Amino acid sequence: MHFSLLAVCSLLTAAVAAPAPSSKRHVVHERRSRLPTQWRKNAKLHGDSLMPLRIALAQSNLDRADEFLMEVSHPDSPNYGKHWSAKKIAETFAPSEETVTSVLNWLADYGITSDRVKQSQSLNWIHVNITVSEAEGLLNTKYYEYKHSSTHDTHLACDEYSVSEDVRDHIDFITPTVHFDAKIKNPRKKRSMNDNQIAVAKRQTAAAGHNVQPGIGHSIGSPGDASLPKDGGRVPFGTILSELENCDVSIVPDCLRALYEFPPYFPANPKNSFGIVEYTPQAYLPSDLDMFFANFSPSQVGDRPIFDSIDGGLLQTEVESFDYNGESDLDLEYGMTLVYPQKVTLYQTGDLLEGASFNNFLDAIDGSYCTYDGGDDPNQDGIYPDPYGSGYGVYKGPENCGGFAATKVISTSYAYNEADLTPFYENRQCNEYLKLGLQGVTFVYSSGDYGVAGNGGQCIDPVTGNYTNGTYGMFNPSFPGTCPYITSVGATQVKPGASVTQPEEAAESVIYSGGGFSNVFSVPSYQKSAIAIYFAEHKPPYGPDRYNTSEHSRGLPDVSANGVNYVIAIDGSFSYVYGTSASTPTFGSILTLVNAARLDIGKSSVGFINPTIYQYPGIFNDITEGGNQGCGTPGFEAVTGWDPVTGLGTPNFPRMLKVFLELP
């Protein structure tokens, strides 16, 4: 939670008589070890100030969620492919009646009667407006105002809080308490921009020939976001090389088909569509699609993706440049060509002013996520109707909660640094990928383009926790790459001078494949043996000042695909691009073809693939050369077997198809 103290003070009401303190024992529920950088404790809050308290209720069966997912995703399970309905998932994980009653009784013990309490429809959380002194009694804590030294934002928080012993197991967490915003390390700057800063940004934008709203820091999709693909410059006129001999310098769709041995035309299954997520202001240009199709897939000229507009998502045409069209043009030109004639669904997410986050997208394909576990974080996620302005491209409609169907494979070429978000925020989102996996959806995410460093080359100072200039510091893996319930895709390249039949190596041109080990998520069961072998046979030469050496944390990426020298049509000409942003839709396309084949014979989609791919590493071309330098080190090395550079390797379609077709 993050809100202005003024708002709190303006809500002053007559103090409610404090009830006699309960005799039940308080136990500490959450405690913060240190203040996040730049936050300072300010004044104690007045006891009569009113604040909105939210209690996230413990869900039933969450401890068994991983087991449920393995049951439908592990190749040895007799229930492989028997995915769950959304209804079954909601019922299985809803807080129990006992949980709800215990928490309501606990509140009533403190004089907070049920008429003041609101419960979300999904029963996942409880909301009550409460005075600071009531909250201090209930939670046995003291509330303070905190101030951010550079943005001057204020925040209401305490150092620790307790709950009554008999409800501790029924409560996940309570806000506002010890949590600080994920957003602060990587703020969406718009909100804290003062008028002067806005004026400067507007002038800069105008000077650059841009008409859209001033840049908003680094919400995903903002121009300059380091997870976007890298511009390799124009392909010189007349030199588009479409022969297979030139795949080491120019990747075109036929190179990918040759490398991974998949066909140019795979009969369409009507139930099949490949989902590609884009975040406004990123947008594709129809004329670019046609230019690409005319050269590489002539029968598709005029073809467009199915367009799902989420939270006002629109195809802006105010600004046309690599920074605004590169990602979407790349994803759609390759995605649409490689899965042809399967359909492609474009999930265009967020309006022009505010933009959006992964959570906004997940809300749209699963309405229950909107309120799950306390709901979205208003500081990190887009809020709709957009409160920040009005006019063209500003979405004033309600936030999309459900209503959009999830495709079987969903490809996202954007990513955060794991260190930019809180573990709570990440766990909440990661559990959502698990639940969608239970429903048979595969998520592929790019692993990042800066090797062991984070977006833009950021590394972490081991002492201050600040980001360094990238020449030293701790490695900085990407999120959601570190979530064990998605498939993280790294990048490879054709070796200079080599042909498409020779093994590729880790990408080392312009970009370096993102990879490493999580600081938040422990190693999932399906990856345990691959990680153990990696450490036994190829222990990296770095200590805990560089990465999580526990040998028990989630490693990434899982797989890889070519990400170097892609030729795309952009803003009316052909350019080269680089990035795991390219690898991800390529890998997602191949899975979409596997799904088509399974659906054709009446089988389910592949869903969460990781347990299968780690069991059958032979369906990949193992990549054993190259590394992913970063933070002033050579990074990790690609080795035999799984490695934190290229994962299990690049796909071999015939072998992959065979394994997945044999599964029930």
Ligand X SMILES: *[C@@H]1O[C@H](CO)[C@@H](O)[C@H](O)[C@H]1NC(C)=O
DSSP secondary structure letter of residue 549: T
User: In this complex, which beta carbon is closest to ligand X, that of residue 48 or of residue 625?
Assistant: 48
Q: Which of residues 466-525 bind ligand X (CB under 6 A)?
A: 466, 469, 471, 518-519, 521-522
Q: Is residue 205 a contact residue for ligand X (CB under 6 A)?
A: no
Of the candidates 411, 433, 346, which has an alpha carbon nearest to the alpha carbon of residue 591? 411
User: In this complex, which beta carbon is closest to ligand X, that of residue 358 or of residue 521?
Assistant: 521
Q: Kindly indicate which of the ranges 167-175, 347-355, 363-371, 544-552 contains the residues binding ligand X, using the contact rule CB under 6 A.
A: 544-552
What are the structure tokens assigned to 630, written together? 């970063």
**Residue 559 to residue 620: CA distance in whole angstroms:** 8
- Among residues 581, 583, 589, 605, the one annotated as catalytic is 581
Find the shortest distance in angstroms from Cβ 387 to ligand X.
14
169 CA to centre of own chain: 29
Residue 192 annotated as catalytic: no
Q: Is residue 13 a contact residue for ligand X (CB under 6 A)?
A: no
* 3-state SS, residue 161: strand
The binder of ligand X chosen from 41, 44, 64, 118 (CB under 6 A) = 118
Residue 426 annotated as catalytic: no
* 3-state SS, residue 650: strand
In single-letter form, the type of residue at position 82 comes to K
The binder of ligand X chosen from 7, 22, 26, 52 (CB under 6 A) = 52
DSSP secondary structure letter of residue 588: H
Distances (CA, A) of 607 to 289, 365, 525, 664: 29, 16, 17, 13
Find the shortest distance in angstroms from Cβ 451 to ligand X.
16
Per the annotation, binding residues are 622-623, 641, 643
Contact map string, positions 325 to 364, toward ligand X, x by CB under 6 A: ----------------------------------------
**Residue 63 to residue 238: CA distance in whole angstroms:** 59
**Residue 357 to residue 382: CA distance in whole angstroms:** 6
Q: Is residue 529 a contact residue for ligand X (CB under 6 A)?
A: no
For the chain, the straight-line distance linking the first and the last C-alpha, in angstroms and rounded, comes to 46
- Among residues 331, 354, 373, 637, the one annotated as catalytic is 331
Contact map string, positions 575 to 614, toward ligand X, x by CB under 6 A: ----------------------------------------
The binder of ligand X chosen from 16, 18, 37, 603 (CB under 6 A) = 37
**Residue 509 to residue 495: CA distance in whole angstroms:** 10
The binder of ligand X chosen from 88, 234, 552, 658 (CB under 6 A) = 552
Find the shortest distance in angstroms from Cβ 545 to ligand X.
10
**Residue corresponding to tokens 């804590």:** 141
Q: Is 159 left (phi over 0), alpha (psi -120 to 50) or beta?
A: alpha
Q: Is residue 174 a contact residue for ligand X (CB under 6 A)?
A: no
Find the shortest distance in angstroms from Cβ 52 to ligand X.
5
Q: Is residue 129 a contact residue for ligand X (CB under 6 A)?
A: yes
CB atoms within 10 A of CB 206: 11
Contact map string, positions 405 to 444, toward ligand X, x by CB under 6 A: ----------------------------------------
Angle at 387 between CA 384 and CA 393, to 5 degrees: 75
**Residue 324 to residue 206: CA distance in whole angstroms:** 15
User: In this complex, which beta carbon is closest to ligand X, that of residue 517 or of residue 574?
Assistant: 517
Residue 581 annotated as catalytic: yes
What are the structure tokens assigned to 470, written together? 């990238």
Q: Is residue 128 a contact residue for ligand X (CB under 6 A)?
A: yes
Of the candidates 660, 645, 656, which has an alpha carbon nearest to the alpha carbon of residue 481? 645
Positions marked active-site: 327, 331, 581
Return residues touching ligand X (CB under 6 A). Answer: 37-38, 52, 118, 127-129, 464, 466, 469, 471, 518-519, 521-522, 548, 550, 552-553
